Structure 1
Amino acid sequence: MNEENTIQNSNLETNKVYLGDCIEVMKTFPQDSIACCITDPPYNYEFIGHKWSDSEVQRRTERVKDSKTMVKNIPYGSGLAGGVRNARWYERNRNNDLDYMKWCQLWTDELFKICKAGAPVAVFNSNRSIAHVQIALENSGFYTRDVLVYRRNSGIPRGLNLEKKLEKMGHQDAPKWNGWHSAFRNEWEAVVIVQKPLINNYWETLQETHVGVFKTVNKDGSFQSNIFENLSKKDKSENYSHCTVKPLGLIKKLIDTLVPVHEENIIFDPFSGSGTTLVAAQELGFDFVGIEIEENYIPIINQRLEESKNNKALTPTLF
């Protein structure tokens, strides 16, 4: 463990990434200190047989980090892929969803404490489990502002191909089921936007905490919708060994939309991964703080931050 990247005291040191379980690390941060959180927590793809905890997050990270690809659907061997969809199957599925939501609320509770009044929080998740994350955030005290659609313009067909399944069974009606599958091709991700309650109104909150409103008019004068698309795809410099790296341009767009420029505004990511949120914050001229549970990602994050220093913007403050 690198002592430089661990919590030493209760003071919040910015422009660095802390190593550890974010639930525990956030407990050491000052309350009302974070201006915006943009994060991509573990998705609830693997289901049965494991409890959500910091050790489980590490296990899942280790399982997928070499392939750089998240599981497309419920994996075989989990107890929920294939097989008979009986009452027990659905019960186990539902119990896992509830277990995941309880785990989410452990970190959303701590996140609420350290966010400033009016602070926006943007959380990525799959279209199947975004509701559970949203409920956890609301249970912690945040209120929902919107659910954005990040359209990737790509996606792999998933689920059961009924025609091929019947062909393997030797069923004579297989050709009749050409084109029928058990799921859609997924080419979008959900981003739930929540906010910590204001201080009476938007202007009073903005004067006190420097956050609370969104920049929804684009450079060309158009009004930004809640569908984010036609953003830059990942380039080769972003192909780090993390399974769900988001495009740098997307994260920059979110920061630019959600956070007014002010010297006291800190961007935070409790699930830093390969550090894209931190790099985006640095290049836009914001201070940042990250947490990452997987020690092997710390040098990757620091390398990316060092390489991006020359791209740092000199943006004038709005206050």
Structure 2
Amino acid sequence: MLTPHPENELFLGDCLKFLVSQESGTFDALITDPPYASGGLHMGARQAAPSKKYMQGSGPTKWAEAEFVGDHRDQRSHLAWCNLWLSECYRLLRDGSPVCLFTDWRQLPMTTDALQMAGFTWRGIAVWDKTEGTRPQKGRFRAQAEYIVWGSKGAMPLEREVPVLPGVFRECVRKADKHHTTGKPTDVMRQIVKICRPGGRILEPFVGSGTTLVAAELEGYSWAGCEMTEHYHAVTADRLAGLQTPLLAM
């Protein structure tokens, strides 16, 4: 049975308002899955609803009850916006803290630029392999990977008490574990959060359906996060509350 940490905080509202309210140097990792502003090769396609951009051919699903916001920007405005919130995150992290940012192939170059513009050191890219069931199209490579751009705030000592982490996380999407249009598997996030020092505090400005926070809770980290959409804020609160029962503790 899990006990809530007194430092845990789930905020409803805009991430920039949440970030400016936090005290400098109080987090040990930034692990986040922000809006990609992707899903199309031109501006009209990018401005489509996320459920149309990312769920083609899959039919109605329980997690499409609410659209999420912030996924419509063009390339230049998206880069400027990322620099805003990443710069605030830089202030909030302790020196040496790791950063992990999810992105897709379209926004991979922009994400590496935004990370460095905010002052972070870019250290590499890990891969989430969604396996062969993802969007097969004859005559094309499968779009079965998303990426984790990772780095740190300054030096990142090798003697940290953190295990060697895989460079590829192979995990399919399971409907029973997906609560958001672009939700990530809990098992993937449980591995990724381990880049934070043991017992550290994890920052997630884009909570979505709460998988990063659930993973942090299950792996013994404290956390603080923000979600703008009321529906997904409520989903996250329900999932976290469920962890306090022995049947749902993993």
**Do they fold alike, i.e. is TM over 0.5?**
yes
Could you tell me how far apart the structure 2 residues matched to 1:312 and 1:157 are? 35
Residue of structure 1 in register with 2:81 after alignment: 103
Any residues of structure 2 matched to 1:1-319 within 5 Å, and which? 14-45=7-38, 48=43, 63-64=49-50, 70=54, 96-153=74-131, 154-157=133-136, 180=139, 184-198=141-155, 202=157, 214-216=162-164, 224-229=165-170, 231=171, 233-234=173-174, 236=176, 238-240=177-179, 242-256=180-194, 258-262=195-199, 265-309=200-244, 310=246
CA offset at residue 233 of structure 1? Answer: 4.5
AA at the equivalent of 1:45: S
AA at the equivalent of 1:226: G
Could you tell me how far apart the structure 1 residues matched to 2:16 and 2:153 are? 18
Structure 1, unaligned runs of 5 or more: 1-12, 52-58, 73-94, 159-178, 207-211, 217-223, 314-319
Indicate the SS of the match to 1:279: helix
Could you tell me how far apart the structure 2 residues matched to 1:278 and 1:294 are? 16
Residue of structure 1 in register with 2:61 after alignment: none
- Cα deviation 1:174-196 (Å, max 9, x = unaligned): xxxxx55xx53200111101100
Evaluate the alpha carbon distance shift between residue 274 and residue 225 of structure 1 in structure 2; reply closer, same or farther with a 3 A threshold.
closer
AA at the equivalent of 2:92: I
Could you tell me how far apart the structure 1 residues matched to 2:227 and 2:234 are? 11
- Determine what percentage of the aligned residue pairs are the same residue: 26
CA offset at residue 260 of structure 1? Answer: 2.3
Could you tell me how far apart the structure 1 residues matched to 2:11 and 2:45 are? 26
Q: Is the 8 A contact 2:214 2:239 kept in 1?
A: yes
CA offset at residue 244 of structure 1? Answer: 0.7
Residue of structure 1 in register with 2:70 after alignment: none
CA offset at residue 284 of structure 1? Answer: 1.2
Higher relative CO (Cα under 8 Å, sequence separation at least 6) belongs to 2
Indicate the SS of the match to 2:102: strand
CA offset at residue 268 of structure 1? Answer: 1.5
AA at the equivalent of 1:64: P
CA offset at residue 30 of structure 1? Answer: 0.4
CA offset at residue 225 of structure 1? Answer: 4.1
Could you tell me how far apart the structure 1 residues matched to 2:172 and 2:243 are? 17
Please, what TM-score do these two structures have when normalized by structure 2?
0.79
Could you tell me how far apart the structure 2 residues matched to 1:269 and 1:45 are? 20
- Cα deviation 1:226-260 (Å, max 9, x = unaligned): 1222x474351x232x211100000000112x022
AA at the equivalent of 2:168: I
Structure 2, unaligned runs of 5 or more: 1-5, 57-72
Q: Pairwise CA RMSD of aligned residues?
A: 2.8
Could you tell me how far apart the structure 2 residues matched to 1:31 and 1:41 are? 21
Evaluate the alpha carbon distance shift between residue 285 and residue 111 of structure 1 in structure 2; reply closer, same or farther with a 3 A threshold.
same
- Cα deviation 1:112-156 (Å, max 9, x = unaligned): 110111111111111111221111110111001110011110321
CA offset at residue 29 of structure 1? Answer: 0.4
CA offset at residue 71 of structure 1? Answer: 5.8
Larger Rg: 1
Could you tell me how far apart the structure 2 residues matched to 1:38 and 1:120 are? 8
Please, what TM-score do these two structures have when normalized by structure 1?
0.63
Bigger proportion of residues as strand: 2
Indicate the SS of the match to 1:273: coil
Could you tell me how far apart the structure 2 residues matched to 1:213 and 1:132 are? 31
Could you tell me how far apart the structure 2 residues matched to 1:213 and 1:235 are? 34
Q: What is the total number of aligned residue pairs between the two structures?
A: 224
CA offset at residue 14 of structure 1? Answer: 2.8
Indicate the SS of the match to 1:202: coil
